[in-house]
Structure 1
Amino acid sequence: MTTRPRVGRLERTRFGYGFVRVGEGEDDLFVPPFAMGGALHGDLVVARYLETRREGDAHEIVEVLERSLAGIVGRLEPRGRMTLLLPERPEYPREILLTLHGRSSVPRGGRVVVRLDLKPPEPLQGKVIAVLGTDDAREDSWVVALEEGIRTEFDSQALAEAASHDESSVARAAHGRADFRNDIVLTIDPEDAKDHDDALSVRRSAHGAHEVGIHIADVSHYVSPGGALDLEAQARGNSAYLADATYPMLPEALSGGLCSLVEGKDRLTLSLVVDLDEEGTVGKSRLVSGIVRSNASLSYPEAARLGREGGDGIPASLALLDRIARGLRRRRMEEGGLDMDLPEIRARLDERGEPHRFEETKRLPTHELVEEYMLLANRIVGGRALAKEVPFFYRVHERPRYDKLRAFFDAARYLGRSGAVPFVTEAKQLRRWATSGKTTRDRIVNLYLLRAMEKARYDLVDVGHFGLGMRGYAHFTSPIRRYADLANHRIVKRYLLDGAKPGGDPWAFADGWMSAGVASHISSTEMTADDAERAVLKLKAVRYAQLRLGEEARGTIVGLSPGGLFVFLEGWFIEGFLPKRAIGDPSLTLAEHGFSFRSKRTRHRLGLGDPVDVVVARADLERREIELGLRTRAARRPKHPGRAKTKARGGRQGKRR
């Protein structure tokens, strides 16, 4: 227990309580609903110890240092000179009274996005940053981006700086670069990718070691330190990829144009050329400024198909790259690291932005192929920076805390795993506890393991990457969409290229764009983008559920809280909440371990990983909640959602399969 005041960001939950996140490797501070002290979700606050409860220490907010930059979506009601904001998200209070600038442009009861002033005066002050119209699914990503504080428009000076470059700039910069335009160069990306950071090439050797080229877009050629583009990219930190919109780190003229390694166009690169054999043995490497011309921009499925079909040219290159990548993967797993299979869920949308289905993205061999070469490049370049002792943004991942691992082992044992609990010093010790992820119960185990892990972040000090089992690991391969990679490229070009003649103090060179403060900021913007991605997916899930009110589904319990059960709906690939009150058994009690409810009346148990038949009871778009009910045996599924009819007065709807 610590009684001294602590500073951190407040994360409130929909249940009223919250946690103050005080830093990496430290316990979050629990704050009960009555101890918020006027603080709102996302605020920077000072918290101090309040009392010790059976569940642990409780804290109270004693000061709000800074309001969140996030927007608050809600409706307005005038209160004289003041305004009552009625937020939609349950993480906020139901009413916020404030002085609001720009209220006159909003009709009574209008729906808006409000941003509070950073410095917290009393009473609260804020301004309207967007007026929302009637509900439009095509605006979901835009609204969430405003809520999360993601920039949706570029500064005019940044746009002008990006537009000042044209195709002729590539030819002017080609002199003195290694020329890979006669090689078969391939990009492999998601089907909807617009920015192509990386490409691969391979020169076959009859003597065992092949020369693999890992070509990364030379974004730093166009983005100078301290310029308008640089300041914009640093503020954004990274691109945000949401369900129906992308908010890139750089303007389209660069992110989808001059920097993108598009098919048939000459493009500038930083290229790592590595000698590799099919057993994964890494030979000599060289790091050079290059110029490439992509022969084909392939999607993961296209590349997988070409590799299977075989043939000369591109299929032969893919087949050889795949064999080498398999060797790299075998060797990497022998050395250490942990590989967890957590499938990504994507919403398939129609032209109106409405979801017509959710699906898991299938992991193909080509995903692993690209992943291995990117990991290799990041490791080699990061290792060079570490050896040279130059400033660099390392990707660090601390060892998980014992209490979090203990909670994971408890959950894994509840779900059927067995064995002695190890004292974990290396990630590979956790492999036997991770699963293939083929069933929902397997995925729950992997999800709990992921929650036990610390969040990866950026730092100027390399403390290693626990999950990968690597030291000297840094991000280098995605400079179009990550500021860390862009900043690292500047150091690479000045101090780490083969044949480079570095001059001057590297720390003075990096001043202003590579610092501990920037590392913390871009780590934060990455988490913001992840939060926004999940929030949009949740919005789409609620829209999907709205069309299926009254329908039944088979689900699996994936989490529990004192208020009820979180249920993953099989086949629908969305999650809903089954309130304890909806189960109809007041004797239900949450077990001490927290993994099941047990009925004192019937002795029936509802626990983590158990199947449960539910019905969609409510889908609240404003509060982003899907509430489920427990299906009774007498219930029958409607065959056609939204238009089932009863056969007799008072009859129930038919089943839908």
Structure 2
Amino acid sequence: MINEEKLLVFLKKNPNATFKNIANYLKVKFNQNKDLTTLLNKLIESKQITRLRNDTFASLEFLSSEKGIIKFVQDGKFAFVDSDKLDSEGNIISYFIPPTEFNGALNGDEVLIDSYKIVNSEQREFATVSKILKRNTTKIIGKVTQEKNRFYFKPLKAQNFKNHFIKIKNLASTIKNNDVVAAKVISYENKNVIWISIQDVIGQMNDPMLYVNALIEERDTIQNFPKEVINEANKIADFVSQKEMQDRLDLRNELIVTIDGSSTKDFDDAINVKKIDENTYELGVHIADVSYYVTENSEIDKEALKRGTSIYLVDRVIPMLPEKLSNGICSLNPNVDRLTMSIIMTIDKKGKILNSEIKETVINSKYRLTYERVNEFLKGQKFEDESLNQMLTNASELSKIIREYKNNEGYINFEIKEPVIKLDEKGYVKDIIVKEQGESEAMIEDFMVRANEGVAYFSHKNKLPIPYRIHEIPTEESIENFNNTLNQLGINLKIDKNKISPVAFRQIIEEIKEIRNDEFLKTMFLRVMSKAIYSLGNIGHFGLASEFYCHFTSPIRRYPDLMVHRIIREIIFKNQKDKLEHFAEIGTQIAKENSESEQKAVELERDTNDLKYAEYYKQKINQEFKAQIVTILKFGLFIEFENKTSALIHISEIGDGEFVFDDKNNLITNGKKFYKLGDKVKVVVIDADETTGKVSCVLKEDFANYLIKKELKEQQNEARRNNFKKKSH
């Protein structure tokens, strides 16, 4: 009989022991190999030992049990559970869970885990799911397939449900073969069987926007407005009456224009600029008076708060307000009267605001201008209307003055170039181009920033409980990481974390750009920054170098702007001071909700773009591209193509698999050769997954080796399939 105690003692002293090592040590005879296998499996089951990836065995030491939410990484290749405990450096302790230890848990489930350490080994601690406490997957997107008279359901993200069998209950007769559907989880029969009920058909596999629509559905993003919201919107007049113009400053005879993108349909801001004398300008920023039409706690208002923001996707806008308002009565369309809330500022030749006032106004926009056309004007291509030429010349002069003023304050324009997806008439990606900010876009941004600052200062002065847009100074940790990266790049500069200010930060960025004006460095500058959020407590906006800042200029598409308008209307224009306490009471929760809805919108915009990027690169498999290494992590290199999209080169695909991550120097090396941040490389696309938006590459010099490994793997898989067929016969 094999001695269990002796085996455990041996493994404690000899981690990474093979089956043969163990058999030799215990003097196991050939005919006892089956007994040894049974014993090893029993000890693995009881978590006294573990089988490692390289088919060796090691002894385990139990550490603790924890509750937490399991979060899948790389589509279920492994997972983590964050505990509520901190390590000695104050960081949240996170437990690694290999896929063999999920034990039926799905991404997002609340689980109980047991954590273990491999005895006498430097390998990381890991955990196993011992119990599923709460299932949090309530919806699954998948494809229905028909085989003979039976229907099957396959999740689009099948990798997240590898060990689960999904059964359909009460299938409607309208469901067809290959329909992609949204399914509601009815019950879990055990840890591996899920019962579903099909709710909606999303589309068919040949729909070019299928994966985008699936992700919108998966994220529970509301597209259509409820009936009561539409009914309420339909009661609003689509013109401005004489009565509504009373007691408003009438600016309809002023030369006021909108300047937006060529595809824009909702115009919430308009501008006009006058040159009073050689030293002074008047800037008028006129914003759609949405709060006049959308009153607090109306059906439209409640729905707008729920949405928080309009979401701009590759093929559509999911608006915050019904189209009757967003593209109609609230939109500052040309040659029609519109109600506005305006901030009119007198600005000197140094960019300082000498005077400002916020007024209820009525305007009639004279021109719907595009960024493209105004950029042409700024390069010398004039309009027929000489008064328009003069106004835009004044605007250009003032914009440069404001920009210099803001630059001196420490304002940082990162000038990040972004990829823009171009679709064909069917909705497929025909190209991805790089978008760069033109002078007209920068001009409007200058005016909007100044307007937002002016309104925020006005609100502060009048003690209004508005949602400020705040942006904290970078953390010491992010500055330290940034300084380390500069050092690794051979840039002999560093940010002094004890003297951090917008001016100091801008200065060092300008110095870095003089040494190495690389695109990927601009993205790194952004990573140093904290996320901007909404808050009733003002701490300023670090990135914009603003002591007071709020969002005022886009109430058609952002709820915080609507709140700022509403508070000014009720307390200043209507003089209802008794509402101060009310707005202060609801403000903190609304600011929190708006910060969250903004983040969700940003993630949906980014992730749907990723899906279309993957669609584009799926047509480019085995093609070569120029790229640059922009991020280095333990599992590989993230590279950026010339069109500013990105992909992953997994570390296992570099060289012959002998490369490792050197975290101290932030590079990947095999001791002789290394890859570091900023390196220009040539890559070949090897995979693009339209369900996840992930694109994979190999370095050009590794492509031939990759093809050999791929062919070998396919041969092995074919051999396994043939063996299985023989056994089944």
Question: What TM-score does the superposition give when structure 2 sets the normalisation length?
Answer: 0.76
Q: CA–CA distance in 2 between the matches of 1:376 and 1:541?
A: 35
Question: Which amino acid is 1:345 matched to?
Answer: P
Query: 130, 133, 152: which is aligned to 2:200?
Result: 130
Equivalent position of 2:96 in the other structure: 32
CA 1:137–1:91 in 2, change beyond 3 Å: closer, same or farther?
same
Does the Cα contact within 8 Å between 1:563 and 1:579 map onto a contact in 2? Answer: yes
Question: Which amino acid is 1:322 matched to?
Answer: S
Query: 423, 430, 433: which is aligned to 2:497?
Result: 423
Equivalent position of 2:347 in the other structure: 276
Q: CA–CA distance in 2 between the matches of 1:614 and 1:236?
A: 41
Does the Cα contact within 8 Å between 1:538 and 1:624 map onto a contact in 2? Answer: yes
CA 1:550–1:56 in 2, change beyond 3 Å: closer, same or farther?
closer
Q: CA–CA distance in 1 between the matches of 2:540 and 2:152?
A: 49
Report whether the alignment pairs 1:434 with 2:496: no
CA 1:208–1:64 in 2, change beyond 3 Å: closer, same or farther?
farther
Task: Classify the secondary structure of the residue corresponding to 1:352.
Answer: coil
Equivalent position of 2:592 in the other structure: 520
Task: Classify the secondary structure of the residue corresponding to 2:451.
Answer: helix
Q: For 1:418-438, what per-residue CA distance to the aligned partner results, in whole angstroms no more than 9, with x for missing partners?
A: 224411532332224436989
Q: For 1:304-329, what per-residue CA distance to the aligned partner results, in whole angstroms no more than 9, with x for missing partners?
A: 22233357211211111121121111
Report the more deviating stretch, 329-338 or 135-144: 135-144
Report whether the alignment pairs 1:88 with 2:170: no
Does the Cα contact within 8 Å between 2:68 and 2:81 map onto a contact in 1? Answer: no
CA 1:169–1:96 in 2, change beyond 3 Å: closer, same or farther?
farther
Query: 247, 251, 270: which is aligned to 2:318?
Result: 247
Query: 677, 683, 696: which is aligned to 1:608?
Result: 677
1:57-96 → structure 2 map (5 Å cutoff): 67=136, 72-75=140-143, 86-89=154-157, 92-94=160-162, 96=164
Does the Cα contact within 8 Å between 2:248 and 2:362 map onto a contact in 1? Answer: yes
Does the Cα contact within 8 Å between 1:197 and 1:217 map onto a contact in 2? Answer: yes
Q: For 1:365-414, what per-residue CA distance to the aligned partner results, in whole angstroms no more than 9, with x for missing partners?
A: 11121111111111121122223222211111122221122122222332
CA 1:502–1:263 in 2, change beyond 3 Å: closer, same or farther?
same
Report whether the alignment pairs 1:558 with 2:630: yes
Does the Cα contact within 8 Å between 2:311 and 2:317 map onto a contact in 1? Answer: yes
Deviation at 1:92, TM superposition (A): 3.5
Counting helix residues as a fraction of each chain, which structure ranks higher? Answer: 2
Does the Cα contact within 8 Å between 2:186 and 2:196 map onto a contact in 1? Answer: yes
Does the Cα contact within 8 Å between 1:398 and 1:466 map onto a contact in 2? Answer: yes
Q: CA–CA distance in 2 between the matches of 1:567 and 1:487?
A: 41
Q: Select the structure with the greater relative contact order (CA < 8 A; seq sep ≥ 6).
A: 1
CA 1:407–1:175 in 2, change beyond 3 Å: closer, same or farther?
same
Report the more deviating stretch, 135-144 or 485-494: 135-144
Does the Cα contact within 8 Å between 2:96 and 2:125 map onto a contact in 1? Answer: no
Query: 125, 128, 147: which is aligned to 2:218?
Result: 147
Question: Which amino acid is 1:88 matched to?
Answer: L
Does the Cα contact within 8 Å between 2:486 and 2:494 map onto a contact in 1? Answer: no
Report whether the alignment pairs 1:382 with 2:451: no
Question: Which amino acid is 1:430 matched to?
Answer: F
Query: 543, 558, 580: which is aligned to 1:467?
Result: 543
Equivalent position of 1:451 in the other structure: 527
Q: For 1:588-645, what per-residue CA distance to the aligned partner results, in whole angstroms no more than 9, with x for missing partners?
A: 1111236321123xx111222112212222222234322223323997xxxxxxxxxx
Q: CA–CA distance in 2 between the matches of 1:549 and 1:542?
A: 10
Question: Which amino acid is 1:130 matched to?
Answer: D
Does the Cα contact within 8 Å between 2:295 and 2:301 map onto a contact in 1? Answer: yes
Does the Cα contact within 8 Å between 1:278 and 1:323 map onto a contact in 2? Answer: no
Question: Which amino acid is 2:274 matched to?
Answer: R
Q: CA–CA distance in 1 between the matches of 2:83 and 2:320?
A: 26
Equivalent position of 1:545 in the other structure: 617
Report whether the alignment pairs 1:621 with 2:690: yes
CA 1:305–1:90 in 2, change beyond 3 Å: closer, same or farther?
farther
1:381-420 → structure 2 map (5 Å cutoff): 381-420=455-494
Deviation at 1:247, TM superposition (A): 0.4
Query: 342, 346, 366: which is aligned to 2:420?
Result: 346
Equivalent position of 2:558 in the other structure: 482
Q: CA–CA distance in 2 between the matches of 1:120 and 1:235?
A: 34
1:320-335 → structure 2 map (5 Å cutoff): 320-335=394-409
Question: Which amino acid is 2:97 matched to?
Answer: P
In structure 2, list runs of 5 or more residues that go unmatched.
Answer: 1-63, 85-89, 705-729
Task: Classify the secondary structure of the residue corresponding to 1:212.
Answer: strand
Question: Which amino acid is 1:541 matched to?
Answer: Y
Q: For 1:64-117, what per-residue CA distance to the aligned partner results, in whole angstroms no more than 9, with x for missing partners?
A: 778478x64333589xxxx98644348844355668677545456643234568
Q: CA–CA distance in 2 between the matches of 1:633 and 1:59?
A: 35
Q: CA–CA distance in 2 between the matches of 1:197 and 1:9?
A: 42
Task: Classify the secondary structure of the residue corresponding to 2:433.
Answer: strand
Deviation at 1:285, TM superposition (A): 0.8
Q: CA–CA distance in 1 between the matches of 2:581 and 2:190?
A: 39
Task: Classify the secondary structure of the residue corresponding to 1:632.
Answer: helix
Q: CA–CA distance in 2 between the matches of 1:439 and 1:270?
A: 45
Q: For 1:349-377, what per-residue CA distance to the aligned partner results, in whole angstroms no more than 9, with x for missing partners?
A: 11111112111112111112111111111
Deviation at 1:474, TM superposition (A): 1.0
Deviation at 1:208, TM superposition (A): 2.6
Report whether the alignment pairs 1:204 with 2:275: yes
Task: Classify the secondary structure of the residue corresponding to 1:280.
Answer: coil
CA 1:481–1:504 in 2, change beyond 3 Å: closer, same or farther?
same
Q: CA–CA distance in 1 between the matches of 2:308 and 2:109?
A: 20
Does the Cα contact within 8 Å between 1:557 and 1:609 map onto a contact in 2? Answer: yes
Report the more deviating stretch, 517-526 or 235-244: 517-526
CA 1:251–1:634 in 2, change beyond 3 Å: closer, same or farther?
closer
Does the Cα contact within 8 Å between 1:30 and 1:57 map onto a contact in 2? Answer: no
Q: For 1:228-271, what per-residue CA distance to the aligned partner results, in whole angstroms no more than 9, with x for missing partners?
A: 11111111110000111110101111111111111111111100
Question: Which amino acid is 2:536 matched to?
Answer: L
CA 1:129–1:285 in 2, change beyond 3 Å: closer, same or farther?
farther
Equivalent position of 1:654 in the other structure: none
Does the Cα contact within 8 Å between 1:613 and 1:631 map onto a contact in 2? Answer: yes
Equivalent position of 1:638 in the other structure: none
Equivalent position of 2:713 in the other structure: none
Q: CA–CA distance in 1 between the matches of 2:326 and 2:190?
A: 40
Task: Classify the secondary structure of the residue corresponding to 2:379.
Answer: helix
Report whether the alignment pairs 1:493 with 2:569: yes
Task: Classify the secondary structure of the residue corresponding to 1:137.
Answer: coil
Equivalent position of 1:653 in the other structure: none
Q: CA–CA distance in 2 between the matches of 1:211 and 1:521?
A: 36
Does the Cα contact within 8 Å between 1:72 and 1:115 map onto a contact in 2? Answer: yes
Q: For 1:508-542, what per-residue CA distance to the aligned partner results, in whole angstroms no more than 9, with x for missing partners?
A: 2576xx43222222211111111111112211111
Report whether the alignment pairs 1:318 with 2:318: no
Task: Classify the secondary structure of the residue corresponding to 1:297.
Answer: strand
Identity level (%): 25
Question: Which amino acid is 1:444 matched to?
Answer: F
Report the more deviating stretch, 370-379 or 127-136: 127-136
The number of aligned residues is 619
Query: 685, 693, 701: which is aligned to 1:632?
Result: 701
CA 1:4–1:582 in 2, change beyond 3 Å: closer, same or farther?
closer
Q: For 1:189-211, what per-residue CA distance to the aligned partner results, in whole angstroms no more than 9, with x for missing partners?
A: 12211111101012331263222
Does the Cα contact within 8 Å between 2:495 and 2:508 map onto a contact in 1? Answer: no
Task: Classify the secondary structure of the residue corresponding to 1:225.
Answer: coil
Report whether the alignment pairs 1:17 with 2:79: yes
CA 1:121–1:481 in 2, change beyond 3 Å: closer, same or farther?
farther
Report the more deviating stretch, 559-568 or 287-296: 559-568
Deviation at 1:557, TM superposition (A): 1.3
Q: CA–CA distance in 2 between the matches of 1:190 and 1:256?
A: 15
CA 1:116–1:154 in 2, change beyond 3 Å: closer, same or farther?
farther
Does the Cα contact within 8 Å between 2:470 and 2:540 map onto a contact in 1? Answer: yes
Does the Cα contact within 8 Å between 1:444 and 1:609 map onto a contact in 2? Answer: yes
Report the more deviating stretch, 607-616 or 419-428: 419-428
